[in-house]
Chains A and B, each alone.
Chain A
Amino acid sequence: MSWITARRRHPAAGYAVVLLGLIAIGIVYAAFTAPGSPASAAAPAAARQDIAEGQALFARTCATCHGMNAQGTSAGPSLIGVGAAAVDFQVSTGRMPAAEIGAEMDRKPPRFGAKQTHELAAYIASLGGGPAIPAPEQVAAAGANVALGQQLFITNCAQCHNFVGAGGALTYGKYAPPLTASTPTQIYEAMLTGPEAMPLFNDSTITPSEKRDIAAYVTETRAEPNPGGFSLGRVGPVTEGIVVWLGGIGLLVASAWWIAAKRREQA
């Protein structure tokens, strides 16, 4: 009789099987859901050739939903006037081109590289103007006023995205995404263009310098180590409650089992 068979009637046998099954499922799930890769950085200024290339790309990939002249169809809104910043945001985060229309477009590994994104943006900007892609020095964290960024973020952004940008729920299956993978440029562009359900904050409401401060707050806070241990997701007491029951009470019940266990016969 093998070792396992001999112990099939052990009181803990059932629990052991369930535990092994859960671990196996967890490993398989983790193996199959690899995290997405972060998007590429912003692109340099537009040129005539970029616009032409962008138009070609657009016709191939985007026109089905947005119309041949980006005027919009029932499947996708008009892109006239949205600006290069909007295109850069949507394409560099992989949200566009959209694979399927859902409640919300999820961040995905981007389909287009930096150059192609830049070309698309140039083309759309040529159609109706709109907010431009911010220059790198406009979003650099060095010299930013992180404390002001914190105040502005808390007042205007945290109610959707959570204190540190860990994300939150919206209605009807939408959600404010976590900002863990967003570059400062993308954060800037999102504020400027108000993608999907997000309201927009134009440059006279939240100035470029303030946008930079907010982006710096997000990037610096998410990079900040957690002095108290594992962050538990930085979502607050929900995960703390789970840990106290599973970890705290669980470990203590286990030690109580040990203390109160019947002693085996002493020879």
Chain B
Amino acid sequence: MSETGEYPDDLQHGSGGLAEAEDQAGQTRAPHRVIGTPSPAEAHILLATEHPDAAPPVPRELPADPPDLVKAKRAERVVATLFILAMLSGFAFIASYVGFPVHTVDRVLRSNLALGTSLTLSLLFLGAGTVIWVRQLMPDVELTEQRKPLASPENDRQAFAQTFKEGADASQFIKRPVLRRTLIAATVPLGLAPVLLLRDMGPLPRTSLRHTAWRKGTRLVISGTNRPLRPADFDSPGGMITVIPEGYQDNDVELAKAATIIIKFAPGQLQPPTVMNWTVDNIVAYSKICTHVGCPVALYEQTTHHILCPCHQSTFDATKGATVLFGPASRPLPQLPITTDAAGYLVAQSDYHEPVGPSFWERG
């Protein structure tokens, strides 16, 4: 087998291919053949473009069978078994789909397990079978293909250059600058049109980021239960709860700015720069929107009085006006001025005195 099919000597070329492959142990490996583009002279003989009826025989490049047919037969059985298992797994997938209902967590677990296992097995058996097929059943070959330099031959390049230049001349594009310039001028507005059309994708920011939904007299209600709070309800030092402005519990846009945490301290714990006029009975209210990039910052440590944001670990001191202690935030959490209303519930005195949330260019 290794003796047939070699290129005759006058057709041997290519600097990389060896005429035959013999390693040091003297065993002949699979024949090493050269496939390449024959020289123009030989192309006549091999590819027979001018004389279609007199095409000479094309020498064989790939052996028909692997050398050890007994081993191949065994491999064939293994591959066939794997493929049959793949088929059975495929049927199992269909059966699982039909047989396993969903709609509860437990049922979804079983359905997912059944569908997933059968699908996985089917695919992996197919893959394994194919690999064994390639490795054991297809005869081992190592072939060489010649590369051509990627740069085109010089005459091709020149021909291209000539064609291109002729076209450029014929188009008058280079010779008539007025045409050229007016063409560009004509397309510029059209080119800008798609950008312009995007203008209505959103409103202009204007001052919307500077204000929240808190107003004078807005009640603080507990987020989730929407109950208003009296100071007497929130009288355990070390307590913390998230509050939102009354009536806005379904308004995510306003909540994303107005979410607030209130913390109860023992007397004497709150220090400047906490504004004491904005507190009630040592209850202080800070914005829950982190001044770094806007995550809710509600991780409150009772013992250290730290408010920690879980996203990037910006830390604020709740006793000192939420000044920054650590982390990437550069501004303290804004403090919400609170007081009590006539019924005794906690209300805001006004909106925050500065924009809440992440910094922006126009913030000041």
Contacts and interface: CB of A to CB of B under 8 A. Distances in A.
Assess A/B contact in the complex (Cβ within 8 A): yes
Interface of A: 148, 151-152, 155-156, 159-160, 168, 170-172, 174, 194, 196-202, 204-207, 210, 224-229, 255, 258-259, 261, 263, 265-267
29 contacts: A148-B224, A151-B224, A152-B225, A159-B296, A159-B310, A160-B310, A168-B310, A170-B301, A171-B301, A171-B304, A171-B308, A174-B301, A194-B302, A197-B303, A197-B304, A198-B302, A199-B239, A200-B239, A200-B302, A202-B236, A202-B239, A207-B225, A227-B106, A229-B113, A258-B131, A261-B135, A266-B68, A266-B140, A267-B71
B27 A265 contact: yes
B296 A202 contact: no
A224 B301 CA distance: 30
A227 B107 CA distance: 8
B284 interface: no
B239 A170 contact: no
Contacts of A205: 222, 229, 233-234, 239, 241
Max chain B C-beta neighbours (<10 A), residue from A198, A227, A229, A258: A227
Interface in B45-84: 66-68, 71
Given A227-B112, A267-B67, A194 B239 contact: yes
A265 B222 contact: no
B333 interface: no
Given A160-B299, A194-B302, A267-B68, A199 B263 contact: yes
A207 B297 CA distance: 23
Nearest to B327: A171
A208 to B, nearest CB: 13
Contact of B131 (A171, A197, A259): A259
B306 interface: yes
Contacts of A174: 301
Contacts of B109: 225-227
Label chain B's interface by main secondary structure: mixed
B238 interface: yes
B239 A224 contact: no
B315 A171 contact: yes
B258 to A, nearest CB: 14
Contacts of B116: 229
Q: Which 9 A-B pairs have the closest CB atoms?
A: A204-B233, A199-B240, A227-B108, A227-B109, A197-B301, A202-B236, A151-B224, A152-B224, A159-B298
Interface in B96-119: 105-106, 108-109, 112-113, 116
A171 B306 contact: yes
Contacts of A200: 236, 238-239, 302
Contacts of B286: none
B223 interface: yes
B140 A204 contact: no
Contacts of A255: 127, 131
Contacts of B127: 255
Interface in B302-327: 302-304, 306, 308, 310, 315, 326
A30 B296 CA distance: 38
A155 B140 CA distance: 64
Contacts of A259: 131, 134
A200 B66 CA distance: 77
Interface string B209-247: 000000000000011110001001111101111100000
Contacts of B301: 170-171, 174, 197, 199
Nearest to B107: A227
A36 to B, nearest CB: 24
A201 B224 CA distance: 14
Contacts of B27: 265
A265 B222 CA distance: 76
Interface string B238-279: 111110000000000000000000010000000000000000
A228 B234 CA distance: 42
Contact of A156 (B140, B236, B241, B315): B241
B112 A199 contact: no
B29 interface: yes
Contacts of A261: 135
Contacts of B241: 156, 201, 205-206
Max chain A C-beta neighbours (<10 A), residue from B127, B296, B300, B326: B300
A228 B112 contact: yes
B239 A229 contact: no
A159 B240 CA distance: 13
Contacts of B68: 266-267
A227 B113 CA distance: 8
A266 B229 CA distance: 84
Contact of A263 (B112, B135, B240, B300): B135
Contacts of A148: 224-225
B314 to A, nearest CB: 11
Contacts of A207: 225
Nearest to B237: A200
Max chain A C-beta neighbours (<10 A), residue from B127, B134, B222, B234: B222
A67 B296 CA distance: 40
B308 A201 contact: no
Given A199-B240, A227-B112, 13 more contacts: A159-B297, A160-B310, A171-B304, A199-B263, A201-B241, A225-B105, A227-B109, A259-B131, A261-B135, A263-B135, A266-B66, A266-B68, A267-B68
A258 B225 CA distance: 59
A159 B259 CA distance: 14
